Structure formats: C-alpha cells, structure tokens
Amino acid sequence: MIKRQKGALTVEVAMGLPILLMMCFSWVEICLLSYSMSISDHALTVSVIRTKKLGSASSTTTVAYQKELEKHINQQGGVAWKYLAKEGSVKIHVDYFKDYQDFVICNTDYEDVEQCPKKSRQPKNMAIAMYRMEYTYNTLFDGLLPDFKVRRELMAIQEYERCAFKIGQGAGCES
C-alpha cells in the first residue's frame, strides 16, 4: 500500500502550485490597481487645488488651466506613475459651466458630458469646472488581461472665474 502512494505529493504540488501562484499574482494585481487609483486621485486633487487658484481677479487674460493641470499631474504622479499607466494613454479634459444648474443638466440629461451644449472649453467667466482624467491601467499580465480604463472626475469652483457665480449681497465682478 505504501508503494502505491509514491508521487502523490508531486501530483498535489503540480495541481495546486499553479492555482496558488495565480491567486498570489491576482492579489498583487489588485493591490497595484488600487495603488494606481489612489495615486491618480491624489495627483488630480493636488493638481486641481493648485491650478484653480491661478490667475487674479483683476486679470483680463485667461489662464490655460488644462495645460497647467497636465504639468502639475506629471509632477504629482510620482516615480511609479509611468509603470502604472500605459504610455500615451493619459487624457485630461477640463469642461467649464456657467452655473450649477448647467452642470446638473449636463450630468443628468446626457450620457456623455461631451455632448452637452451648456459646457464650454473656455474658462472666461465660467464658475464651475469639471476636471477629468482618463488613462489605461498597465497590468502585470499585459497580454492576458484586456485594457482597463480608469477615469477620474473632480468638480471645482474656479477661484478667479466666478463672476457669474454670485453668492450673497454685492458679490461678483464688475462687467
């Protein structure tokens, strides 16, 4: 009876080891994905905080918020960012809205904000901005897993563009 059980451990290891390795690599992949999402959230948040305060209330020229945002995100992404997002897949868009009602209409009535006529690409006198960042996550198993798109959105009040966003008595900018 003992002679017949030779190689049982070999069979168990041969069948169980690939499953164990697949579980370990899947766990590492999920950890990297959550890290990638956290890094993109942090980079977008810090970049928006810095970008939305550019300019001045007395300025007659508009700030190129999207270019500034791209510059700040590249700085805030960190060293690991180039390994977590596929090269050339990072897309950044900034959409501007005159008031909160336009923002709500564009986000509830339209499947994609790009189709909404109430949004604008020009920041002048647009109080609300929606910063969007989209990238393709770079998986460990690049050939085995399909592309995974990550999209982050952040809404912010533009500090120096809110002439049309009057709050309280006497608020707003001169025409």
User: In angstroms, how far apart are the furthest CA atoms of the chain?
Assistant: 97
| Segments of the chain assigned E as strands | 91-97, 128-137, 148-157
What are 21-36's pLDDT values in tens digits? Answer: 999 998 998 998 899 8
92-105 tens-digit pLDDT? 888 888 888 888 88
Stated pTM of the model:
0.73
Task: State how far the Cα of 114 lies from the Cα of 130, in Å rounded to an integer.
Answer: 11
**Higher per-residue confidence, 8 vs 36:** 36
What's the count of helices (H) and strands (E) in the chain, helices before strands?
A: 4, 3
Helix (H) / strand (E) containing 53: none
Q: Count how many residues are written for the chain.
A: 175
120 bridge partner residues: 96
With a CB cutoff of 8 Å and minimum separation 6, the contacts of 92 are 66, 69, 70, 73, 131, 132, 133
Q: What is the mean pLDDT of the chain?
A: 80
Quick one: pLDDT band at residue 120, thresholds 50, 70, 90?
Answer: confident
Lowest mean pLDDT among 35-49, 69-83, 152-166: 152-166
Sheet holding 148-157, edge to edge: 91-97, 128-137, 148-157
Residues 89, 80: Cα–Cα separation, whole Å: 15
